[in-house]
Structure 1
Amino acid sequence: MEFQDIIYEVENHTATITINRPEVYNAFRYRTVVELIEALYDAGYDKDIGSIVLTGAGEKAFCTGGDQKNHDGQYQGGNRGTVGMPVEQLHAAIRDMPKPVIAKVRGYAIGGGNVLATLCDLTLAADTAIFGQVGPKMGSVDPGYGTALLARCVGEKKAREIWYLCRRYSAQEACDMGLVNKVVPAAELDAEVRRWCDEINEKSPTAIALAKTSFNADSENIKGIGGLAFQALRLYYGTEESKEGVTALNEKRKPDFRKHVK
């Protein structure tokens, strides 16, 4: 597959997958998600690769979730995925790859980008990184790994706070709550991620794969819950209540969701 929205590079047994849409803070559209899935499978089953890094182009953002300019009831552009793009397949790909996937976070990891950081096996962040959710502010939610797995990472009370209040958290706050493994100065992030990957790449690939599979088995029920909930999400996206978030954004006003609740 010829990549347009991502950059795929391999060096010293590590594949780096970069979302290359900095003009929209690395928000993803249908093509982006399909390319990410393809790249993850390429890296995940390449026996010469021991680790995978997921990151975003530029300094401003890791990823800010789905591109709202491409969202009107359903995400537009393709025929895969329950909500118009194969987000649940992307989540499964990160989980299913027999290699550790490391999120390298600069700038904003917001919305669906925060979910990707949660899903990755490890998350390393620059001290300038910002984490948080926007779903309920925009008439959306991640009813699978983004909620249930987040609760396993940061605790249920904190996860509910993140989703109900939609606040933003510094890299250090994210680290303190368990969402991030380590925070380093922005200028040192590439070198730090390189060190972590080099250490992983020295280890037995089969042992690492077995460890990842074992970790995943404990929370594999979330995939089934998410599958059911994404069907409900598809129906929700067709309501005026959900559409109010994007409409308000485009009209540069505060959303009024309650006027659509019947």
Structure 2
Amino acid sequence: MKFQDILYTKYDGKARVTINRPNKLNAFTNQTLQEMISALLDAWTDKNIGVIIITGAGDRAFSVGGDQSIRSKDGYATSNSEKSGLEGLENLPLANNHAMLLQIIRTIPKPVVAMVNGYAIGGGHVIHVVCDLSVASEKAKFGQVGPRVGSFDAGYGSAYLARIVGEKKAREIWYLCQQYTAEDALKMGLVNKVVPPENLEEEVEKMCDTLLSHSPTALAALKASFNADTEAIWGIHSIAGIALNLYYGTDEAMEGRNAFMEKRKPDFSKFRK
């Protein structure tokens, strides 16, 4: 399979999906998300694969979310480059492609492990949140930026996050848009393990080998059971996606995006009137 924005490898029962835009801190575009979806579907149907790893290229970022440089009032630009092979996805808004990716991560009957090597921010943070397990480098940083850049995730990124870290902490993460260290993330239950950067890959490989030594049917049934309790969030996420696509067309949303690109503090005061 040929990809532009990701690296996709399969080895020893594992599939690794790497967002390969390190010069953009692995910020994703529609193209990136479509390619990730295509790779995950391949891993789902490959009977030789028992576990999937998602990570970002380089040592600076897992992913910092949607690429703000291609965002306008019409939302995020679609790609004119080589298609992912999934007919029609190139015409979907980025929020819809992101939602589809999240749902596939949850639905695929194989464990998905996030290898967080740097910044996991915004929509990139949400990707790691919905993964079954997360292992973080000591240098990793976590957080949300939506209310600061004119965006939000009122589905998995907030409702499911609250199931993991609790209501108060989830509200803090979204309302204040602060960044948290890997140790902070470990204490709040946001990640499973924190290791030195040089040991990150080794630790993830060990975890995956353990998963591969266990019954695939048992793991699939357990994953389905864990998901069942929060499955209603998919409906909330779908409604939130409609709201987000409408919101992107407002002056309020563009003030956040423009301030980010211009490296200034946004002025949302007029939108409270």
TM-score range with shorter-chain normalisation? over 0.9
SS in 2 for 1:116: helix
Give 2:107's aligned residue. Answer: 96
Which deviates further from its counterpart, 198-207 or 71-80?
71-80
Give 1:86's aligned residue. Answer: 97
Percent same amino acid at aligned positions?
A: 55
Distance apart, 1:258 and its partner CA: 2.1
Tell me the C-alpha RMSD between the 2 structures.
1.1
Letter aligned with residue 172 of structure 2: E
SS in 2 for 1:49: coil
Partner Cα distance (1:124, 1:45) in 2: 25
2:109 matches 1:108: no
Structure-to-structure mapping, 1:221-240, within 5 angstroms: 221-240=232-251
Give 2:83's aligned residue. Answer: none
2:127 matches 1:133: no
- Structure 2 gaps of 5+ residues are 79-89
Distance apart, 1:82 and its partner CA: 6.8
Partner Cα distance (2:20, 2:131) in 1: 18
User: In the alignment, which of 184, 202, 214 is matched to residue 173 of structure 1?
Assistant: 184
The answer to whether the 8 Å contact 2:30/2:94 transfers is no
Partner Cα distance (1:246, 1:139) in 2: 6
SS in 1 for 2:194: strand
Distance apart, 1:251 and its partner CA: 2.4
Give 2:43's aligned residue. Answer: 43
Give 2:86's aligned residue. Answer: none
Distance apart, 1:232 and its partner CA: 1.1
2:16 matches 1:4: no
Give 1:216's aligned residue. Answer: 227
Letter aligned with residue 254 of structure 1: K
Give 1:120's aligned residue. Answer: 131
The answer to whether the 8 Å contact 1:64/1:108 transfers is yes
Partner Cα distance (2:192, 2:238) in 1: 28
The answer to whether the 8 Å contact 2:68/2:261 transfers is no
Letter aligned with residue 133 of structure 2: L
Distance apart, 1:253 and its partner CA: 1.5
Partner Cα distance (2:261, 2:126) in 1: 24
SS in 1 for 2:91: coil
* TM-score, structure 1 normalization: 0.97
Which deviates further from its counterpart, 228-237 or 168-177?
228-237
Partner Cα distance (1:260, 1:218) in 2: 37
